[in-house]
């Protein structure tokens, strides 16, 4: 089976914090890795990294053919917030894929 090319249009926005290449690269790699594991169609992802007082917030919105995934995480460190956000996104995408596979095979609960 040929490997399909998944084109993800990914943008990263920083709010109330200095944009760094390291954070941008880290969030881009993590989100791309998660999406490519479950999604075969091209899509758009938007990551927002922000700081509000002591809270570091990472949010992502991903749109692809017929569905949308939104995940948000708050932590004391932006890297930890990105990791939590990707975990949440991973759960949502896995649940969606399991549901699709279940419907295709005719599996009944």
- Domain layout of the chain by residue ranges: 8-101
Architecture of domain 8-101: 2-Layer Sandwich (3.30)
If pLDDT is split at 50, 70 and 90, which confidence band does 3 have? Answer: very low
The predicted-structure confidence for 57-92, as pLDDT tens digits, reads as follows 999 999 988 789 999 999 999 999 999 999 999 999
Model pLDDT, residue 66:
79
Q: Report the share of the chain in percent with pLDDT over 90.
A: 70
What Å distances lie between residue 39 and 62, 63, 74, 107, CA to CA? Answer: 11, 11, 25, 21
Mean pLDDT of 32-40: 90
């Amino acid at each position: 089976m040929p490997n399909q090319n998944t084109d993800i249009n990914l943008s990263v926005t920083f709010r109330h914090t200095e944009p760094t290449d390291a954070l941008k690269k880290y969030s881009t790699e993590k989100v791309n890795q998660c999406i490519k594991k479950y999604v075969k169609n091209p899509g758009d992802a938007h990551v927002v990294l922000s700081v509000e007082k002591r809270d570091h917030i990472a949010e992502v919105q991903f749109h692809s053919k017929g569905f949308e995934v939104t995940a948000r995480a708050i932590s004391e460190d932006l890297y930890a917030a990105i990791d939590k956000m990707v975990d949440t996104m991973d759960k949502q995408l896995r649940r969606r894929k399991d549901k699709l596979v279940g419907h295709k095979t005719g599996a009944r609960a």
